[in-house]
Structure 1
Amino acid sequence: MKLKITEPQFRVGFILVTTLFFMWGLSYGLVDVLNKHFQEALHITKAQSGLVQAAYFGAYFVIALPAGLYINKKGYKAGIILGLSLYAIGALLFVPAASVMTFGFFLFALFVLALGLGCLETAANPYSSALGSPETAEQRLNLSQSFNGLGQFFGPLIGGLFFFNEGSNPGSEGLGAVTYTYIGIALIVFILIILFIKTQLPDLRENEAKLDAENAKTNNASLWSHAEFKFGVLTQLVYVGAQVGVGAFFINLVVETWPASSSKTGAYFLSIAMLAFLVGRFVSTGIMSKISASRLLMVYAIVNTVLCVLILSGMQYISVIAAISVFFFMSIMFPTIFAMGVKNLGSKTKIGSSFMIMAIVGGAIMPYFMGKIADHYGTHMAYVLPLICFIAVILYAANYKKMTTTNNTVNSALT
């Protein structure tokens, strides 16, 4: 019998929660454009612009565990409302940041905004994957994350259209456009807060209790007894570093390796890359019904390793085309690693999710070091770091079945 993505009783909750994936995808899509925009408007180096990602993804590390504890006590809905509130506050902080015109204030605004997104991801990722049968958890989360990809597509499109207004002063007009964009985002977020307050979401505690009982029978009740979870967190750490790094300097790569291009051109190319990411999510969700999630993850990571080698060549046109292709094959990685890592945790899913979200700190670390390499050797050479990260993803995917089998064998022996 073919398993459904989700059941009728969970459908409204699943649709509403999926809107959140679009919203934080939109925010993330804008961040990579802000990286290049701040280089021009505030006259900072590539390494300094890497602090944009450091502030953004560093907030995930700070908020993830407190958010998990809060959600564990108050529930998924309360966590979502808290996250949306912080998201709106951070977006509105762009108004005074533009008035002060300091890089530090913009970083603070992004940090507060990302605190909200970290809270949302801690709640929405496990909630989406749990709204149905465990057998379809990876497909369900990948479907929700497909709308995240849609948001990431529109982000650089909006940024390219408004932030890089050629022929004008990027410091004044460009940052004004940034401000109005984030005010618009804040208004949308306020509407979502109202919708979530008024909507009754499914309570999953009964389902979690059943899984807890099964784990207790096999002495697999401890969070850290799950090898697939422990190594999943480590893999997520390096993968997110790769994803963020690939996007952070994508526009620089275009400017340096695509003849007669500009930052605005690079932003539009980034939109194409995000479109590839979006298409990859939808297409791969369908493929996942035929091929196991771990095997597909391994194949995609192998392809991306090869594509990073092509980027390192620095060849005109080829490097950019390879970088765009990387986005397609990255499409399933975050949600698949996430779902593979937390699917068997029961009521500990919320805390396990916190550690998975904390692993996003890899995105705060990677851009600075890629920026250092880019400043000295050219942007294309910085892609050696994502290459190493994709090799780590290959190892996790290749050993996933063995990890889950070992867990079951050991726990069966103990009972």
Structure 2
Amino acid sequence: MPQHVHTAQYGKPLAVLTSLFFMWGLITSLNDILVPHLKGVFSLSYVQAALVQFSFFTAYFVVSLPAGRLVQAWGYQRGIVAGLCTAGAGCLLFYPAAASLSYPAFLGALFVLAAGITVLQVAANPYVTRLGPAKTASSRLNLTQAFNALGTTVAPLLGAMLILVDSHDGAVAEASAVQLPYLVLAGLLFAIAVVFALLRLPAIKDEHPQQAAAAGEVVRHSVWQYRHLVLGAVAIFVYVGAEVSIGSFLVSLMEQPDIGGLNQADAGRLLAVYWGCAMVGRFLGSVVMRHVAASKVLACNALLSVLLIAAAVLCGGKLAMYSLLAVGLCNSIMFPTIFSLALNGLGRFTSAGSGVLCMAIVGGALMPLLQASLADGLGLLLSFVVPLLCYLFIFYYGVAGHKPRHATPDLALATS
């Protein structure tokens, strides 16, 4: 079993850890503001604008495994510091990208930034679960994930105020609107890195990955032999893809005269409702899943998402706008619930399974590109059929795909 520390020792580190979850939530959600902003600055098609999310989320696929090895070699604390410094460097790269008015430079900066966030996720998520007694791990994750949701809610408001500003001074002035916000983010990330470098954090040692299987556990030789994990990775892939796709194109949709007729800044502020609903739903879901099986809650939320998107595509107008914003409420519990169900019964393969699921976050890179290609060819509103199909698969996973074969029965997991 992992070593744990006394309650008095981890209160301060846990408080500082919440800042990490807030920061990467804010940075990830700020991409939803960058997509329409850079689309206007560089006169991009939807596919070209979707490269913002592609560059960001591709880092998860490329960096997850090296990040795991780095954290294993350096430890959680040094891994967190390395992730913060890398993310800070990525933020600094936005300044020359804006000054040179180069879209590829923006994409490069986003990849470096996301590489740092990936290292943070690989180090901080398991560290939170190990920073104290196992019986309170869920409450600690609930707390830190709530701060992550707060970051995703605040980002569109800040982005609308600081980045989506009407300028009459040309593309250079509009591009430079990102310089100050990302310089401030870089300063915050480096400051937090210094704090973490100076803190005396408890040293947590993980159990050896090659330990013997527990008595009664079916012996397996590869993590890929767990069907419910593989399907869970697909569910994570399509979930992140759907969530990011909706967030990426909502501002542009709300700008259309026949949908919302909003200007870009007002649409950006309204986007906060999408992420705010996810934050509220996280707290509600935490209460509901004390009494209802997590798989059932997941299936119900996925089905409601399908119905909301179908109503949006078929009806159009302001109903489409409000229906898509409401999908945020359904999204709230999906990621942690899929994660928990997919790792159920993996035993000594749990760590490897977590790596597989983390790599599946690359769905946030590919699904927006698929939706963008439909938006360019068939129209923006109709393109939302892409996330609709994603939620259909998640519905299947909640109903049947999550059930382990020859493993422990599904429990009513209380995830955030």
Q: TM-score, normalised by structure 1?
A: 0.89
Compared CA separation, residues 120 and 170, structure 1 to 2 (3 A): farther
Q: Which amino acid aligns with 1:329?
A: C
Q: Give the superposition deviation at 1:399.
A: 2.6
Cα deviation per residue 1:14-55 (whole Å; 9 max; x = unaligned)?
A: 333222111111111110110000111111111100101110
Higher helix share: 1
Q: Give the superposition deviation at 1:292.
A: 2.8
Who is 1:3 aligned against?
none
CA distance in 2, matches of 1:8, 1:132: 10
CA distance in 2, matches of 1:201, 1:343: 29
Q: Give the superposition deviation at 1:134.
A: 5.8
Who is 1:289 aligned against?
290
Asked whether the equivalents of residues 254 and 266 of structure 1 are also in contact (C-alpha less than 8 Å), the reply is yes
Q: Give the superposition deviation at 1:289.
A: 2.5
Who is 2:42 aligned against?
42
CA distance in 1, matches of 2:109, 2:31: 12
Q: Give the superposition deviation at 1:224.
A: 3.3
Who is 1:60 aligned against?
60
Who is 1:399 aligned against?
400
Asked whether the equivalents of residues 233 and 356 of structure 1 are also in contact (C-alpha less than 8 Å), the reply is yes
Runs of 4+ in 1 over 6 A off after TM superposition: none
Who is 2:105 aligned against?
105
Asked whether the equivalents of residues 41 and 171 of structure 2 are also in contact (C-alpha less than 8 Å), the reply is yes
Q: Which amino acid aligns with 2:297?
A: L
CA distance in 2, matches of 1:343, 1:13: 28
Asked whether the equivalents of residues 308 and 323 of structure 1 are also in contact (C-alpha less than 8 Å), the reply is yes
Q: Which amino acid aligns with 2:267?
A: G
Who is 1:93 aligned against?
93
Compared CA separation, residues 168 and 138, structure 1 to 2 (3 A): farther
Q: Which range is displaced more, 160-169 or 353-362?
A: 160-169
Asked whether the equivalents of residues 138 and 336 of structure 1 are also in contact (C-alpha less than 8 Å), the reply is no
CA distance in 2, matches of 1:10, 1:288: 27
Q: Which amino acid aligns with 1:27?
A: I
Q: Which range is displaced more, 74-83 or 86-95?
A: 74-83
Compared CA separation, residues 173 and 160, structure 1 to 2 (3 A): same
Matches within 5 A, 1:217-256: 218=217, 219=219, 222-256=222-256
Cα deviation per residue 1:70-120 (whole Å; 9 max; x = unaligned)?
A: 222322222211111110000000111111101000000001000111111
Q: Which consecutive unaligned segments of at least 5 residues does structure 1 have? A: 1-5, 410-415
CA distance in 1, matches of 2:116, 2:344: 24
Instruction: Classify the secondary structure of the residue corresponding to 2:287.
Output: helix
Who is 1:70 aligned against?
70
Instruction: Classify the secondary structure of the residue corresponding to 1:394.
Output: helix
Q: How many residues align?
A: 402
CA distance in 2, matches of 1:83, 1:347: 27
CA distance in 1, matches of 2:92, 2:209: 43
Matched, 1:24 2:35: no
Matched, 1:166 2:169: no
Asked whether the equivalents of residues 213 and 348 of structure 2 are also in contact (C-alpha less than 8 Å), the reply is no
Q: Give the superposition deviation at 1:203.
A: 3.9
RMSD (Å), alpha carbons: 2.6
Who is 2:412 aligned against?
none
Cα deviation per residue 1:327-382 (whole Å; 9 max; x = unaligned)?
A: 11101211222233346556654443332221111111111111111122221111
CA distance in 2, matches of 1:165, 1:281: 31
CA distance in 2, matches of 1:346, 1:143: 26
Q: Give the superposition deviation at 1:216.
A: 6.8
Q: Which range is displaced more, 65-74 or 96-105?
A: 65-74
CA distance in 1, matches of 2:127, 2:324: 32
Q: Which amino acid aligns with 2:311?
A: L
Asked whether the equivalents of residues 295 and 399 of structure 2 are also in contact (C-alpha less than 8 Å), the reply is yes
Q: Which amino acid aligns with 2:201?
A: L
Matches within 5 A, 1:10-409: 10-131=10-131, 140-169=140-169, 171-205=171-205, 208=207, 212-213=211-212, 215=214, 218=217, 219=219, 222-256=222-256, 257-342=258-343, 349-399=350-400, 402-403=403-404, 406-408=406-408
Compared CA separation, residues 199 and 336, structure 1 to 2 (3 A): farther
Asked whether the equivalents of residues 342 and 402 of structure 2 are also in contact (C-alpha less than 8 Å), the reply is no
Q: Give the superposition deviation at 1:205.
A: 2.7
CA distance in 1, matches of 2:284, 2:354: 26
Asked whether the equivalents of residues 242 and 386 of structure 1 are also in contact (C-alpha less than 8 Å), the reply is yes
Compared CA separation, residues 113 and 397, structure 1 to 2 (3 A): same
| Identity percentage of aligned residues | 34
